[in-house]
Amino acid sequence: MKNGSGNTNTKLILLHPYIQKQSSTTRLWLLAFVSFFTIIFLLTLLYTRDTIIPSKNTSVAAAVAAVVTSAAGVSPSPTTTTNSNLPTTTINALLHYASRSNDSFHMSYGEMKSISDVLRRCAPPCNLLVFGLTHETLLWKALNHNGRTVFVEENRYYAAYFEEIHPEIDVFDVQYTTKAHEAGELVAAAKEAAGNECRPVQNLLFSDCKLGLNDLPNHVYDVDWDVIFVDGPRGDANEGPGRMSSIFTAAVLARSKKGGSPKTHVFVHDYYRDVERLCGDEFLCRENLVESNELLAHYVLDKMDKNSTRFCSDRKKRSVSSLS
């Protein structure tokens, strides 16, 4: 176009190909960035679902456990100190639904009832120590209503996660230094040192016995435990830690009580396995076995004199009833 002075005012716009190329490159990098984090998110979700997040059965157990406090007529506050027992109907309902779980590793009704019956008879406040976080963890907490329940877990990440989503649960992680295939050698060494570092009455916090757990919080060793349940750590593979240390520790804690009831009920799960039977015979002792089946053994141990150097006596073993 021409203006009044006859000068031409023409504007020329050039599109350099670099601009288009830069825009395409930016979009490609953005797409790659988003794709990378999408893949990471999906992998994390799958891994978390399979290894950490509890199954829907655990969620159901949590919901049932939440009803327990209202069924007993008390507030669900963790500071509640009233020593009231759960109604029998509530206990039976908990056992019924826990035993009907679709989880292939859950305990049977008979096994859970054996432990439940002991907790029901335990004078409140009852002290319960459990080795292992399992499908029944929330059940044990609920059944030991207004008692002290402490769990010991080998996987510190799972322990932290479980305590985060269930803050009412007391969980402590412990590092096991044993291997299941070493059971025979370790048990033999502990028997030889029963008069010294592996004696049956001692404060394990200062123990040098390889089978003794000495890295738990100090107060765990000061509690007079009424019931101890060994359901951990892993013991189904030779390279797993095995349950030698947890059974030995249970035996020493029961023999070393300073107050409370002189007797301690010790339950050992997966009793059909060689390690559980071997350590049960050597440290919990056949004379203290009151009932058992292939999956669960129930021992009742008396506290011992501080100068004792033998776990088992020469008394003839008592008759053992069968768990239904």
Domain CATH for 96:
3.40.50.150
> For 239, how many CA atoms within 13 A lie in the half-sphere containing its CB?
0
17 within some domain:
no
**What are the E-state strand segments in 26-66?**
none
- For the chain, the average pLDDT equals 81
In total, the chain counts a number of residues equal to: 324
pLDDT at 42: 59
319 within some domain:
no
Domain count, the chain: 1
pLDDT at 46: 45
Give the number of other CB atoms < 10 A from CB of residue 193: 16
pLDDT at 88: 84
pLDDT at 251: 98
68 within some domain:
no
The residues, any chain, with a CB within 8 Å of residue 145's CB and separated by 6 or more, are: 68, 69, 72, 84, 85, 86
pLDDT at 49: 38
224 within some domain:
yes
Rounded CA-CA distance 131/232 in Å is 5
225 within some domain:
yes
pLDDT at 89: 79
Extract the residue ranges of the chain whose pLDDT is less than 70.
1-28, 33-34, 36-84, 101-104, 314-324
- Note whether 303 and 226 are within 8 A (CB): no
Range of the domain at 178: 88-302
pLDDT at 43: 55
Report DSSP state, residue 87: P
268 within some domain:
yes
22 within some domain:
no
274 within some domain:
yes
